Amino acid sequence: AAPPPGNDGRSVIVQLFEWKWTDVAAECTNVLGPKGYGGVQISPPQENIVLPSRGYPWWQRYQAISYQLESRSGTRAEFAAMVQACHAAGVKVYADAVINHTAGTWPDGTRGSAGSSFTHYDYPGIYQTQDFHHCGRNGNDDIVNWNDAWEVHHCELVDLADLATGTEYVRNRVAAYLNDLISLGVDGFRVDAAKHMPPGDIAAIKSRLSGDPYLYQEVVYGAGEPVQPSQYRGNGDVIEFRYGQQLSAAFEGGTLASLSSLGNGLEPGESSVVFTDNHDTQRSEAALTYHDGALYTLANVFQLAWPYGTPVVMSSFAFTDKEAGPPSSADGRTNDVSCGSGWVCEHRQTPIANMVGFRNAVGSAPVANWWTNGGNQISFGRGSQGYVAVNREPAALSRTFSTSLPAGTYCDVTRGEVRDGACTGPTVTVGTDGQFTASVPAMGALAIHHLARV
Ligand code: LM2
Ligand code: CA
């Protein structure tokens, strides 16, 4: 297993968190396609709760009200046009699928993003009280005991009305929603809160889907818990949260030398999706984020060079308030994306964007010629196809590196790219002995591959 995310060996997904469909479409055409991204993960497209009283938080999108494709990201027509534009650019579209639950308890008069009214356990025309689990525990039906698998699956995650995914009706209704997205061209789904659905319920929903959509399931690993990521592998890929935790820890407080074993002891890389941070971990865990500047960029360079898992590059909006929604007008309408003013656009940074091309270029070539100073300087090759060095020290790293690359002049894609036969950044020259001598900047990187030669 491991063909998706994209066509032609395009192996990286980008999460364009809270972007509008019109902006996703333009990004596919102008950036994602040209840089070789294989897929784009988009925010939940279904009707969601709207919370002016809470300042329109980002998390309102995780409270489903109906399956109308109307949200602050845009309309159904804009959504459909976005999928077409991304496909034309060679980029697949993966939708964040909120199918474990609908909304929490909110005052009467609270509306959905398509204008629907609802009450807890009554979403007119879709679900009524019999379509939800009422687990009968803990006084309010909330999950408390994470060591009880039945409770994790059948009680409520933070008060969110928990769909009875064991019933025919709910399975068919959820599948109808996903099939509607598939009919518009969607290629697969991030299965939100997969951990809170029995694996067999997801299998039953999947069996009702048209085509063969790619699924990657959100099952947050918890040590010793009875619900484990491995239980979901029969349905498709699983998000391996420990990867980003260990990657962040190595770059923040540990040593880069320890990264030679990153992935050992985790879920199999071929069926795992990984990230440095996502929209949840960048607000909760000690994950590296764009707030960490160069350190974050370096961690992404490593992630894209290291042959474990399918990486998702995070693309954030800037925040200090962890509840805040995306840049928007006072009435909660999302602003157009403008990188650098409210929108961070990590995925456009030269080292990150060009390492997507590196990963595509080296394919499944194994790690070769690993070197480390034993501390925070590392370098390694990917077979005879590429080579990368990462220097997490406040001084430049100057040395002669031994590679398995053919002799030639290569463009350092962390600082430039090949245009009209020339490299817009520094080059390195590999000799017939496979060696090259170069200086890697302080808190910097160097990466070369066989498709960026001059
Ligand atoms: C996910 N994966 O399992 C998402 O990645 C994560 O972002 C979602 O939580 C969660 N599952 C549910 O889809 C976020 C956010 C929560 C927020 C929920 C629902 O992290 O804080 O909960 O979305 O919007 C909020 C309030 C919470 C309240 C709940 C229900 O923070 O206090 O619970 O709404 O009204 C009483
Ligand atoms: Ca559930």
pLDDT confidence tier of residue 2, bands split at 50, 70 and 90: low
How high is the pLDDT of residue 5?
A: 78
Residues 12 and 355 sit within 8 Å (Cβ to Cβ): no
Residue 159 exposure: Cα atoms within 13 Å on the Cβ side: 5
pLDDT at residue 1 greater than cutoff 60: no
Sequence letter at residue 180: D
pLDDT at residue 3 greater than cutoff 80: no
Calculate the average pLDDT of the chain: 97
Are β-strands 39-42 and 13-16 bridged in parallel, bridged antiparallel, or unpaired? parallel
How high is the pLDDT of residue 286?
A: 84
Sheet (strand 386-391) strand order: 367-372, 377-382, 386-391, 444-449
Mean pLDDT calculated for residue range 343-357 = 98
**CA-to-CA distance for 102 and 121, rounded, in angstroms?**
8
pLDDT at residue 205 greater than cutoff 80: yes
**CA-to-CA distance for 33 and 90, rounded, in angstroms?**
6
How high is the pLDDT of residue 94?
A: 98
**CA-to-CA distance for 195 and 236, rounded, in angstroms?**
13
Mean pLDDT calculated for residue range 403-425 = 98
CA of 95 to the centre of ligand 2 (A): 19
HEC string of 244-288 equals HHHHHHHHHCCCHHHHHHCCCCCCCHHHEEECCCCCCHHHHCCCC
HEC string of 401-437 equals EECCCCCEEEECCCCCCEECCEECCCEEEECCCCEEE
pLDDT at residue 4 greater than cutoff 80: no
Mean pLDDT calculated for residue range 93-99 = 99
Residue 320, classified by CB atoms within 10 Å of its CB into exposed (0-12), middle (13-18) or buried (19+), is exposed
Question: Token match 């990368």: residue?
Answer: 388
Are β-strands 188-191 and 214-217 bridged in parallel, bridged antiparallel, or unpaired? parallel
Task: Convert 269-279 to b/e letters by CB count within 10 Å (16 or more is b).
Answer: bebbbbbbbbb
With a 6 Å cutoff on the Cβ, whether 96 touches ligand 1 is: no
Nearest Cα to 359, choosing from 41, 35, 92? 35
**CA-to-CA distance for 65 and 205, rounded, in angstroms?**
19
CA separation, residue 169 to residues 119, 130, 195 (Å):
20, 10, 21
Neighbours of 318 (CB within 10 A): 14
Set 23, 96, 151, 192: catalytic member = 192
CA of 150 to the centre of ligand 2 (A): 9
**N-terminal to C-terminal alpha carbon distance within the chain:** 35
pLDDT at residue 35 greater than cutoff 80: yes
Sequence letter at residue 19: W
Mean pLDDT calculated for residue range 32-41 = 98
Report which bound ligand comes closest to the CA of 156: 2
CA of 280 to the centre of ligand 1 (A): 9
Give the pTM: 0.98
Neighbours of 443 (CB within 10 A): 18
Mean pLDDT calculated for residue range 128-146 = 98
Which atom of ligand 1 is found nearest the CA of 158?
A: 33
With a 6 Å cutoff on the Cβ, whether 192 touches ligand 1 is: yes
Mean pLDDT calculated for residue range 66-72 = 98
**ipTM here:** 0.96
Q: Which two tokens stand for residue 262?
A: 């990153």
How high is the pLDDT of residue 226?
A: 98
Residue nearest to atom 15 of ligand 1 (CA): 59
Residues 182 and 211 sit within 8 Å (Cβ to Cβ): yes
pLDDT at residue 319 greater than cutoff 70: yes
CA of 156 to the centre of ligand 1 (A): 11
Q: What is the pLDDT of residues 39-64, one digit of tens each?
A: 999 999 999 999 999 999 999 999 99
Give the DSSP letter of residue 438. E
Is 218 a residue of the active site? yes
Q: Which two tokens stand for residue 269?
A: 């890389």
Mean pLDDT calculated for residue range 442-449 = 98
The DSSP H or E segment spanning 295 is helix 294-305
CA of 59 to the centre of ligand 1 (A): 6
Residue nearest to atom 6 of ligand 1 (CA): 280
Under 8 Å CB-to-CB from 107, ≥6 apart: which residues? none
Is 201 a residue of the active site? no
Mean pLDDT calculated for residue range 55-80 = 98
Residue nearest to atom 28 of ligand 1 (CA): 158
With a 6 Å cutoff on the Cβ, whether 100 touches ligand 1 is: no
Question: Token match 């990188």: residue?
Answer: 339
With a 6 Å cutoff on the Cβ, whether 57 touches ligand 1 is: no
**CA-to-CA distance for 388 and 448, rounded, in angstroms?**
6
With a 6 Å cutoff on the Cβ, whether 193 touches ligand 1 is: yes
pLDDT confidence tier of residue 7, bands split at 50, 70 and 90: confident
With a 6 Å cutoff on the Cβ, whether 63 touches ligand 1 is: yes
Report which bound ligand comes closest to the CA of 153: 2
With a 6 Å cutoff on the Cβ, whether 104 touches ligand 1 is: yes
With a 6 Å cutoff on the Cβ, whether 141 touches ligand 1 is: no
Mean pLDDT calculated for residue range 232-249 = 98
With a 6 Å cutoff on the Cβ, whether 280 touches ligand 1 is: yes
Mean pLDDT calculated for residue range 320-332 = 97
**CA-to-CA distance for 317 and 7, rounded, in angstroms?**
28
CA of 62 to the centre of ligand 2 (A): 14
Set 18, 131, 156, 218: catalytic member = 218
